[in-house]
Structure 1
Amino acid sequence: MTEEVGRGTVLAGRYRVDEPLPSDLAGVSVWRATDQILDRPVRVRVLESGAVAPALDAARRAALVTDARLVRVLDVGMHEGVGYVVSEQITGASLTQLVERGPLTPDQARAVVGEAAAALEVARRRGVHHLALRPSVVHVSADGRVLVSGLAIDAALLGAPPGDARTTSRTDAVDLVRLLYTGLTGRWPAGRDDALAPTVQPAPVLDGLPVPPAELAPGVPNDLDTLCVVTLGPNQDGPFSPGDVVHELEPWGEIRIGRPADDDRAAGEGAVAAAAAPAVEPERPAPPVRVARQSVRSAFDELPAGAPLPGTPPPAAPARGGIPSGRVERTGVLPAGAAYGAGAVPPPGPPPSHAPEPDFWDEGPGFADDPFAFVEDDEPRRRFDPTALVLVVVGLAVLIGLVFAARSLFTSPVGDRDPVADDTPSQQEPATPSEGGATEPTPQETVDEAPDPGVPPAIESVRTFDPTDPAGERVANVELTHDGDPSTFWFSYTYNNPAFGGLKEGMGLEVTLAAEAPVSGVTLNVNGSGGNVEVRATTASTPTEGAALGGGPLGPETVLDFEEPVTTSTLVLYFTELPTNAAGQYRIEVTEITVR
């Protein structure tokens, strides 16, 4: 018999249910609870109906993924016929609450969705997908940390059918772009299931597609607007995994939209109430720690009579042959009655100029002049002075260095001297005057002045160009094409077929050399294969003018050799067909360009 869970219910003899929280899934109740064993607050989802068994299995798989941006699953089990999932407490307002106050700034929307995409990419590499992303599962804490809840669990509760890795990755990628649309506009674009975001206003639709974000909110950057339009458009275009979304959004800055909310309790109150809360006065820095200082004089003044001095060594061993007559043994402890500080009155007796008293007075300066004189030895110790030895060694080293320097100065290295050339006059023919009276250079001089053909022309810059867009296509990170690091690469937009999705005939890269130089070929290192590229000695303004110097399909190392060298300062690599990368996407990924 199924027990009804309510306030005070203890699940599995451990988790005490305290307070209900909002839930947007049918057959699921959410509770604030207390782990009575570890004495900590937790969040419990009680699965009362629906696909309970698949949801519990999905929760176990989600518990294997570790990332600070994913809500951690702590326990999974059954109690009196009811399934439950215990997770850490969720802090901060959800994206649903944040957009109730209005759209986020583009920078903040980029950062929030970028952090969520990075977390889901970690889960994807462990074989776990969300498949039920919506604004209510993305939270932003007061310290700017993003938390994503419901990984794999919500999809199982909704009865999402299983799919292959490509389909599930694409689903999460599209849903992340829908979240980006919501952050930019405050509206939720229509998708597979509109019931996933019932509290967010729907986005307006034009010809069956969501209206571009830039038409709803001012100041939306072109890259974010294009990402939303392409991904939510009629074609299967845009990112195919959360990692692709990360690449499209990076880099992003600090998140500053968090509000001090008491975890899920703010869910019922709304983000507006949280924003209206009185500001908390920032904590003042603690005053610097003061270290008590004590002078040496006061340390001696506070010692009781007869106490050993602080910091003095243990008593020294007596000198051989006994103590000389008329002297006292000098130890690390003063004789009784001798621990006097400044201003103390010495014991009665004859002054120091008379014969010394064996109990107190001694030769040399008194204790008042040097309080540490009593630790000196009776006779100075003889120590070895290494100064003379060091000077001798240094002198020998300098002398040896001078000898070697003289030998290298007056003796040529082996192979640099020609005995015949030293003893006989030069066999080189003198320069002969030409008919005009000028002296013609010798063959040897002509060889020395010729340029070195082994040095390749240096690339000064690379920029993208697009016949349909004067700004170029994906201008970010184009410098990675010639940074000398094959692990980094520039990539174009992703299209749904090799012919650029029918949007244009091609696009390209303009390579500018540091100086005009003869060029005999170009080498392209590309991730993927297929497609087609042509190279010409022209500029981006006229990419198809002139004969193609080389061309062909792309591969990991595409070598384009010219029939004859061409002297130029600019080259154009014009791509007329897209290759396919390792993930099956139609886009260009150039790791390195080398000009020969």
Structure 2
Amino acid sequence: MVDVVGRGTVLAGRYRVLDPLPTDLDGVDVWQATDQILDRGVRVRVLGSGAVAPALDAARRAALVTDPRLVRVLDVGTHEGVGYVITEQITGVTLAQLVERGPLTPEQARAVVGEAAAALEVARRRGVHHLALRPSVVHVSTDGRVLVSGLALDAALVGSPVGDARATSRADTVDLVRVLYTALTGRWPMFHDDTTPVRDLQPAPVLDGSPVPPAEIVMGVPNDLDTLCSVTLGPYEDGPHSPAELVRELEPWGEIRIGQPVEQPTAAYAATDPAATMVAPPVAPPQPVRVARQSVRAAFDELPPGAARPGTPPPAAPARSTGLPAASWTDTQTGAFAPPEVPASLPPVAAGRPTGPQQRTAGPPAAIPPGGDDGQGWGPGAPGNGDPFPFADDDQPRESKFDPTALVLVVVGVVLLVGLVFAASSLFAGTGDRTADPAGGTSTQPQDPGTDESPSSEESPEPSEPAVPTDPPAIASIRSIDPNSPEGEKEELVPLAIDNDPSTFWYTFTYNRPDFGGLKPAVGLEVTLRDTALVSSVTLGVNGTGGNVEVRATTMAAPTEGEVLASGTLGAQTVLEFDEPVEAGSLVLWFTELPTNSEGKFRLEVNDVKVG
């Protein structure tokens, strides 16, 4: 196999083999390669012996399963009688390399195995199983994602027995719990008929034919994880029987951070820790190239006396009037506008200005003859002796122009004065009584200060002051509700739904179907108000569309009890209006169906909750 495929070999005229990678399977070589057509890195598995044909068939079946947590199979073929499988490139470290440093924390072990179980549940529903799961095929990328490699392929290579659907689901679930045991303790629980190749890991101690519980090896293992490992790996077929059941046992889990290095490892540490060499250190972004700029005027000032000045003026210079009489720009026969022709004796110009050495002549400007020079080197008959930048430091008196500012101020003052006069007239005219005039009109009579007369009842009453709107009910707290777990779902992110920042949001796990993948009936949010108040509506900000939500005036202890006050489909701004206001101290938002987010995945993302 080494003679057939080596450095520089091009498989299928497309994949150029570069460097070898470690592997724990006999008869299999793993290489880093480059896809020369798409110009991207790939990983090549070369199958030189064993069940090559069944392995290639298993790889083709694995290629039909699509999930971001499963390593994608890109191509399958043969090269000079040797089979190969092309997969996407994997960055990061394996779980086997991570536990070499020491066991993971229970929270991180729960998250890594939970993500792997969710990925295998997707494959199980497509009829594909792993059957050779081990710590070396569970990868944690540098951005905290979990990737599972070798789906169906590794089982064909090691000759794992294939049973019915129930037996294969149970086998993958038990292997997932074994991986969880390894993540918690750094030991691999062995079975007497085990065919899974596991190297460089110490076996777990055995007591009465079963692995010792993890809590007896490492302190701080939670009771639920300790019981899960003990029951599943015990002598009886107890515990979860499918990856979906294991997901329910492990939920909820938080963010994975073990694949994100804080600082670059030293050379000594990288030499002793193989996981450290697989994590690329952060690279500082390149600084933009800065070009030193110089003022054109400064460049002219630095020239020695008598040196010729360059003729290229600074860009975007303001236009300058030519100073020619209007008659010199008009055809005397036709009266049409016609700029005079520039004599051929003028020096060359660049960007609309004369070039070459120039001199400036002091003194007042002389009269400009028709078609002659204006004294600044700009007229049609200019001899080329003007300043190339007269607009920059021209100290000659300029022709005065009409300034309309004073006129505008006068007009504004007159308008204000007239307005004040009319306002004063209206104010003093309204202080008297309006009495009926014999001629049929009305006249204004001053009121006698000695009389005490009340205003006429026919006068219109004064308008009442507008009602001041009441403030909406204030939200005191918010919690998530998960029917399968009393701790809720993503509870640590729930405050982001009421922080008045639409860029942050609470979100659920990602599921394969809008019905939560059949794992649970719904999820909810309990909104507790600061005081009992009348509530007439709830407004939700959601990143996505679709799904369904119901609102009830209840608590998380009984989220489905009580009347449904409002329900509807989720959107960017979901307004749920009640038929009648309800006096409540807490509300439950019950999401019975997931929307589709911007990435096309079934996940609920709530960025804002308002109660009205």
Report the TM-score when normalising by structure 2: 0.51
Shift of 1:79: 3.2
Shift of 1:217: 1.3
Runs (5+) with no aligned partner, structure 1: 341-345, 411-421, 425-455, 491-497, 499-508, 519-526, 529-534, 558-566, 574-580, 583-590, 592-596
Distance 1:461 1:72 in 2: 43
**Are the structure 2 counterparts of residues 26 and 489 from structure 1 closer, same or farther at C-alpha, using a change threshold of 3 Å?**
closer
Residue in 1 that maps onto 2:358: 338
Asked if 1 retains the 8 angstrom alpha-carbon contact of 2:358 and 2:388, the reply is no
Shift of 1:187: 1.6
Residue in 2 that maps onto 1:310: 313
Match of 2:327 among 298, 321, 329: 321
Asked if 1 retains the 8 angstrom alpha-carbon contact of 2:113 and 2:179, the reply is yes
- 1:88-123 alpha-carbon deviations (Å, 9 max, x no partner): 454554322332343234454355445545665776
**Are the structure 2 counterparts of residues 288 and 190 from structure 1 closer, same or farther at C-alpha, using a change threshold of 3 Å?**
same
**Are the structure 2 counterparts of residues 252 and 140 from structure 1 closer, same or farther at C-alpha, using a change threshold of 3 Å?**
closer
Residue in 2 that maps onto 1:213: 214
**Are the structure 2 counterparts of residues 110 and 243 from structure 1 closer, same or farther at C-alpha, using a change threshold of 3 Å?**
closer
Runs (5+) with no aligned partner, structure 2: 331-345, 378-385, 431-456, 460-471, 499-505, 510-519, 535-546, 549-553, 568-582, 594-605, 607-612
Match of 2:491 among 477, 483, 508: 477
**Are the structure 2 counterparts of residues 296 and 171 from structure 1 closer, same or farther at C-alpha, using a change threshold of 3 Å?**
farther
Asked if 2 retains the 8 angstrom alpha-carbon contact of 1:169 and 1:240, the reply is no
Asked if 2 retains the 8 angstrom alpha-carbon contact of 1:11 and 1:79, the reply is yes
* 1:248 aligns to 2:252 (yes or no): yes
**Are the structure 2 counterparts of residues 368 and 32 from structure 1 closer, same or farther at C-alpha, using a change threshold of 3 Å?**
closer
Shift of 1:133: 2.0
Q: Secondary structure at the match of 2:181?
A: helix
Distance 2:194 2:121 in 1: 24
Q: Secondary structure at the match of 1:75?
A: strand
Residue in 1 that maps onto 2:449: none
Alignment of 1:477-556 (within 5 A): 477=491
- 1:532-554 alpha-carbon deviations (Å, 9 max, x no partner): xxx99xxx9xx9xxxx9x989x9
Distance 2:41 2:493 in 1: 50
Equivalent AA in structure 2 for residue 310 of structure 1: P
Residue in 2 that maps onto 1:372: 392
Residue in 2 that maps onto 1:150: 150
Asked if 1 retains the 8 angstrom alpha-carbon contact of 2:62 and 2:152, the reply is yes
Residue in 1 that maps onto 2:85: 85
Shift of 1:241: 6.3
Q: Secondary structure at the match of 1:321?
A: helix
Asked if 2 retains the 8 angstrom alpha-carbon contact of 1:58 and 1:156, the reply is yes
Q: Secondary structure at the match of 1:178?
A: helix
Asked if 1 retains the 8 angstrom alpha-carbon contact of 2:252 and 2:490, the reply is no
- 1:233-285 alpha-carbon deviations (Å, 9 max, x no partner): 72337961686588432234353469999xxxx9xx996466699x9898798
Q: Secondary structure at the match of 1:161?
A: coil
* 1:104 aligns to 2:108 (yes or no): no
Residue in 2 that maps onto 1:202: 203
Distance 1:227 1:17 in 2: 43
Asked if 1 retains the 8 angstrom alpha-carbon contact of 2:490 and 2:508, the reply is no
Shift of 1:569: 9.0
**Are the structure 2 counterparts of residues 96 and 72 from structure 1 closer, same or farther at C-alpha, using a change threshold of 3 Å?**
same
Asked if 2 retains the 8 angstrom alpha-carbon contact of 1:172 and 1:242, the reply is no
- 1:168-222 alpha-carbon deviations (Å, 9 max, x no partner): 7776555444323211211223579633243233334556654443332123345
Residue in 2 that maps onto 1:343: none
Distance 2:532 2:204 in 1: 54
Asked if 1 retains the 8 angstrom alpha-carbon contact of 2:117 and 2:246, the reply is yes
**Are the structure 2 counterparts of residues 308 and 85 from structure 1 closer, same or farther at C-alpha, using a change threshold of 3 Å?**
same
- 1:424-481 alpha-carbon deviations (Å, 9 max, x no partner): 9xxxxxxxxxxxxxxxxxxxxxxxxxxxxxxx9999668999xxx9xx7669739979
Distance 1:35 1:156 in 2: 26
Shift of 1:150: 1.1
Distance 1:169 1:380 in 2: 95
Residue in 2 that maps onto 1:46: 46
Shift of 1:385: 8.2
Shift of 1:77: 0.8
Distance 2:25 2:246 in 1: 24
Residue in 2 that maps onto 1:291: 292
Equivalent AA in structure 1 for residue 392 of structure 2: F
Asked if 1 retains the 8 angstrom alpha-carbon contact of 2:120 and 2:243, the reply is no
Shift of 1:149: 1.9
Distance 1:354 1:44 in 2: 85
Asked if 1 retains the 8 angstrom alpha-carbon contact of 2:228 and 2:239, the reply is no
Residue in 1 that maps onto 2:363: 352
- 1:383-436 alpha-carbon deviations (Å, 9 max, x no partner): 9989959x98xx89xx9xx99xx9xxx9xxxxxxxxxxx889xxxxxxxxxxxx
Asked if 2 retains the 8 angstrom alpha-carbon contact of 1:184 and 1:220, the reply is yes
Distance 1:162 1:372 in 2: 91
Asked if 1 retains the 8 angstrom alpha-carbon contact of 2:75 and 2:86, the reply is yes
Asked if 1 retains the 8 angstrom alpha-carbon contact of 2:479 and 2:494, the reply is no
Report the TM-score when normalising by structure 1: 0.52
Equivalent AA in structure 2 for residue 155 of structure 1: A
Distance 1:224 1:43 in 2: 35
Asked if 1 retains the 8 angstrom alpha-carbon contact of 2:21 and 2:32, the reply is yes
Q: Secondary structure at the match of 1:297?
A: helix
Distance 2:307 2:28 in 1: 77
Distance 2:127 2:29 in 1: 27
Equivalent AA in structure 2 for residue 154 of structure 1: D
Q: Secondary structure at the match of 1:195?
A: coil
Alignment of 1:136-285 (within 5 A): 136-140=136-140, 146-157=146-157, 158-159=159-160, 161=162, 172=172, 175-190=175-190, 194-199=194-199, 200-205=201-206, 210-221=211-222, 224-225=225-226, 228=229, 234-236=238-240, 240=244, 244=248, 247-253=251-257, 255-256=259-260, 272=273
Alignment of 1:121-140 (within 5 A): 129-140=129-140
Q: Secondary structure at the match of 1:45?
A: strand
Q: Secondary structure at the match of 1:104?
A: coil
Asked if 1 retains the 8 angstrom alpha-carbon contact of 2:128 and 2:152, the reply is yes
Distance 1:115 1:288 in 2: 44
Equivalent AA in structure 2 for residue 249 of structure 1: W
Distance 1:65 1:30 in 2: 22
Shift of 1:76: 1.0
Distance 1:284 1:479 in 2: 31
Distance 1:104 1:197 in 2: 22
**Are the structure 2 counterparts of residues 224 and 14 from structure 1 closer, same or farther at C-alpha, using a change threshold of 3 Å?**
same
Equivalent AA in structure 1 for residue 363 of structure 2: P
More deviation, 140-149/74-83: 140-149
Distance 2:298 2:43 in 1: 64
Asked if 2 retains the 8 angstrom alpha-carbon contact of 1:133 and 1:176, the reply is yes
Aligned residues: 472
Shift of 1:135: 0.7
Shift of 1:321: 0.7
The sequence identity of aligned pairs, in percent, is 49
Residue in 2 that maps onto 1:495: none
